[in-house]
Amino acid sequence: MQQKLIETALQHGMHTVVMDRNPKALGFAKGFGSLVTDTNKITRNTGKTKEKQGNFVRRILANFGNEKEAVYAALQYHEKEHRLEACVTVGTDFSITVAKINKALGNNVGITETTATWATNKLQMRQRFAEHGVSQPLFYGMAAAELENILNLTREKSLKKAEELLHKLENLFSTNKFVVKPVDSMGARGVRLVQTAKDFIEALGKARYFSKSAATIIEEYIPSNELSVDALIYKGKIFISGVADRIIEHSPYFVETGHTLPSELPEESRTLAIEEFKKGIIALGIHSGAAKADIRVCLQGRKVWLGEIAARLSGGFMSSYTTPLHSGADLMQAVLEISLGMPPSSLQETRNQVVVERAIQREGAACIFMGIENLAQAKKIQGLAEIFLFVKKGDLIQAPKNNMMKIGSLIAYGKTKAEAETSARQANQILSIKTKAT
């Protein structure tokens, strides 16, 4: 997810430091040991031109998901190796770590730890939205103790407790379909649609597994279209930088199997969605930085609901690949500029073509991935931009239950959606996934 961000930082001559607990992380290798020949310079808010400080990726071996470890490692580098000015990430929900590192570095440009927490904890986010009148699904928060009180009983007693809670929620929400989510996970891990007590118990168990705090949120299910929207924020001014239609499949799970830029929804619906997104950004206190929203849109009732907002740019290759292909805007440069206290200078739209991202999938029973054939042939297809694989030989592959379980992704473009989808479909058909039984 960080590759384009790292490349952009290097191209602008920034002293670039990558943190990961995996010594073989791709970000460590990107540009390491090879000179970047780009001669661009970057101008900071002092008005002075700053020459390139470094042309290589520097490494910090530390767990970015462990806030204390990450802050300590960043400060050690800052004090003993080279002065650091800002920390930034895209596509991953480590906003709290980023906020804490920036605070430790003395960078007060971006979001606060409080805002980062509101944007990471789904229950606190819902409570903030409620306080500010933001349109959202009805919700019910379950603390870890209440969750354990259901799961740690005998099977019969657990079912009875689950049935009682479902009945209560049916009366509260006026529906018999609910979405169970961990309050602090990402990539749709542990998210499931439920209707029965049996499914409810299974969903609560998965939500607990994927949650650091074991707390859970239950929301009303709203069948609707869904948008993915990116924004950059600089000193309170909000720049909408991409509005895409999301494809969600594999019910009862919520797996994003693709997105399309630009959105095909009516302009009125998109405008309603963007206005609610802006209200959500203000509610979370994102004054300078980035934000990404999942927004549900009902065309018949002309109504929108905020699914959630993350205090960073989108993953799923939207901010880093499909948006630049679609409009020409460089969101990676913009988020780097904002993190350094500079206004974004790279959001101009220089083209307008349709871009699609589609998942590489395989139907059938779970099996062992042995490889993929015809990659070179697929890459020659007109309009195909990128092929990404998320698995390696020996990995188990199965029907995805979250966004982290997909085999890979294709990105294609064209003058029309039909052209772009044809290129993606042809590539998917050419690729041959080799497997063996488990």
Say what the pLDDT of residue 276 is.
97
Q: pLDDT digits over 369-396, tens only?
A: 999 999 999 999 999 999 999 999 999 9
Say what the pLDDT of residue 13 is.
87
CA dihedral 39, 9, 359, 253 (to 10 degrees): -170
Structure tokens at 364: 């059938």
Say what the pLDDT of residue 247 is.
97
Say what the pLDDT of residue 57 is.
78
Average pLDDT, consecutive stretches of 10 residues, N- to C-terminus, the chain (438 residues) = 88 88 76 31 32 63 87 92 92 92 95 96 97 97 94 93 96 95 94 96 95 94 96 98 97 97 96 97 98 93 91 94 97 96 95 97 92 96 96 95 95 98 97 95
Set out the domains of the chain in order of their start, with CATH numbers. Answer: 3-117 (3.40.50), 138-220 (3.30.1490.20), 353-438 (3.90.1170.50)
Say what the pLDDT of residue 364 is.
87
Say what the pLDDT of residue 30 is.
59
Say what the pLDDT of residue 406 is.
95
